[in-house]
Structure 1
């Protein structure tokens, strides 16, 4: 078992004919069951062509009809990415993973609002995220496959590079991962820490979770408070927050990483997480070791 994706997921790449889309689709196709999972691409101008034996269709809807796709990964440039997300949502796919960085915030606000108003079932991961991987089964995104190892630890993170750091430490300690989910660092995004934490808590093949956050917003606190109320003694969770030394009021790196009005600081997040029963570390090099101590 895993969460969100597995060896039976059927994926369409939106933006398959661009340089980034081609490179990562090939890497994903070459990983584990990728050749069976990556079954379609979309580009209205290149319908009827193919890339790496993957047929290209004019629309996501057509790719779904012809290949039974239930998940999409998006490498479309920022000005057109929100429309690409909506196209996948409108085709009623189960999951949309948007890798694109730099989508205008108002575009994302409009898409999220429309998804909510229309009660759409599609789960959105991202944008500006590394994607999702279930080791030895399927990877959808830009993460390096070789650092992952199949196992029973869930990873959820707002930061791409820190996802890889946590995974690398776990694999070095011979602790494999059930699924690793990069949710992205934009202020308006799909899956939140709480959503992924809930999926891991309900997954019989996940024993513990590493949750990695960043300064800005209150998503990590919301996840911690939910965990404290619903699942405190169910499975151990360890946490890390990037940006302990960040000055208040200054935007740092990710579009979502800004501390405002004294809220969203790393210290505040860590304090809430600890109060809610999540063990935390201020040293990113200790995430794997800390997790091992709670098993």
Structure 2
């Protein structure tokens, strides 16, 4: 009987040990948080400084619309040109807002071409002919529902081609087509979220094992659901609470992460990992209020966190 009891005790101890699993996670991060919640947008023809750039503006608008549609992040809608007798800035703005409400458009991408130039020069002793096309665009994202500018940036693209003799160089139209294509790609990059790869440290115990399997596959919704189910069985499981906090932090839900870390810390005050995570979230949220937020790095494996220890709530 003693041998059986001893074996059972060892088994229970092994089941209660927790270690840190480091997962390479990926998620979409908005390039500009101000436009993270937009679902539908429209592209207007950009203002230009002459008839020559009017055509360029129309080509750029078309290229951006096509690439945004291919990207699939936004619903791209059309907005007609304002046919006004007196096209004053105020009248155009009023027209946009009315169209936005009518077509259920969240925001309008507008802007102005500041520079469109092609230069030709000789380079080196061999007098290699170099042609450079430059395009500068001031882009703005305007909320048609809130009637205010959300964000904007001055974007610049240069394309260079070299050849001997000069006749081998692309013509001006081809060069501007290249720079227009590159600018359209840059605008899409400016507007749409990018993929972030980041390590995330999660605790492994019997209660968190199922959620970890989903997390390793990048199925964060399923992982959260599995841990929520584990909490229903034992609301005081601090390892599950920590994993929910770490996952919320990774996904950018910092307020929720703070609450999970706080609950985990209250249930296991001796564990430094929980205290450090809670302090990190408190500091991050303060930075966010002050407008100085930088992306947090979720701690991976540390010596303290990888040491097996008894997790009494998993019994």
TM-score by length of 1: 0.29
Larger radius of gyration: 2
Structure having the higher helix fraction is 2
